[in-house]
Amino acid sequence: MPGRFIPVAEPALAGNERKYVLDCLDTNWVSSRGQYIDRFERAFAEFCGASHAVSCTNGTVALHLALLALGIKPGDEIIVPTLTFVATANAAMYCGATPVFVDIEPATWNIDPARIEERITPRTRAIIVVHLYGHAVDMDAVMAIARKHKLYVIEDAAEATGATYKGKVVGSMGDLSTFSFFGNKVISTGEGGMVTTNDPAIAALVRQLKEQGMDPNRRYWFPLVGYNYRMTNIEAAIGLAQLEMIDWHMARRIELAAWYREELEGQPGLSWQVVQPWARHVYQFVTVVVDPSLGVERADIIAHMHTRGVEGRPVVFPMHELPPFAGLAQGQTFPHAEHVSRHGINLPTSASLTRDEVKRVCESLLERLAPVSTAR
């Protein structure tokens, strides 16, 4: 088997990560205090065009903090795209709220604004949009609906650091935005998350909630129930180093996606997330959908890729199919989300991949399709 095993995702540590982490160790600032926390938060807010950024433990925590800061409570309903990672819906459940699912657009695979209003009820408090795999949601359409119905909007940008909508970087258009820095994201801190907002009062509340609810002006006085949702200085040091090279990370992923399309051009039965002219897609994953008419099972394709030293992964299950949310979508249909979920394959996507490795990935995919294509 030629070359190394190619995982579906891995961080690219190509900047000052080692230097900054060693500085944390040398100065003993290894916990949730230190200069890198402040530096990372300030730099990230500036990058997103937001007034405030608050670091936290991970992207799921960021969503939970955002909902808590908006006062989401039991009995409330939160509009959520059904095609998303489970954390988006789980965060609503943490607050006792009910996620209400909406199908996706067939082109971008993001929440379909045309389907949102039919799911709004008197109990609806917020819309969570997910910039899936790094492609921005049609934010103008969503914000117009939110203003009409007086709803909050949270941007779940876990997979989309650096993505743009009509020239605006995601993370500054909703009431709050949340990010993940897990190892498979555009930039990584290992684990870690961020909440951004333009509202100083909301930012202050998010910060207090993540600090166990402690009064910022009165040490060890806790006027509300909070959480230990803090990022470490070491994680922030890695994040700052990654953010310093964000243009490189984005450019490499965009280049990677172009290579995949070139290698797979002309292969029948394959489709992609359509990049809209107003979007900069930053490709947390390059994902291909295999048309079922080809007569080959996705599981067989992924298994064959693995024998060739390449990892592929299925797209996530839609939320409405998962047991914790059973019964929440009775009478609703989600054909577009189900199609992408059942037939989509996440291909290896990392800023460190070479052109030859992308070629290997595509060859492993095409080998399994070739007998089928020939038979047709």
Task: Convert the pLDDT of each residue in 106-162 to its tens digit.
Answer: 999 999 999 999 999 999 999 999 999 999 999 999 999 999 999 999 999 999 999
* Residue of 113, 117, 107, 61 whose CA lies nearest to 271: 107
User: What are the structural domain ranges in the chain?
Assistant: 17-244, 246-375
Q: What is the pTM of this model?
A: 0.96
- Residue 2 binned pLDDT confidence (cut-offs 50, 70, 90): low
Q: How many CA within 13 A on the CB side of residue 182?
A: 16
- How confident is the model at residue 3, as a pLDDT? 81
> Does pLDDT of 372 surpass 60?
no
- The pairing of strands 98-102 and 164-165 is unpaired
pLDDT average, residue stretch 258-280: 97
- What pLDDT is attached to residue 330? 83
pLDDT at 44 over 60: yes
Class of domain 17-244 as given by CATH = alpha beta
| CA distance linking residue 369 with residue 348, whole number of Å | 18
pLDDT at 376 (0 to 100) = 43
pLDDT at 9 over 90: yes
Q: What's the confidence (pLDDT) of residue 260? A: 98
| 74-115 residue pLDDT tens | 999 999 999 999 999 999 999 999 999 999 999 999 999 999
pLDDT reported for residue 312: 98
The architecture that CATH gives domain 246-375 is Alpha-Beta Complex (3.90)
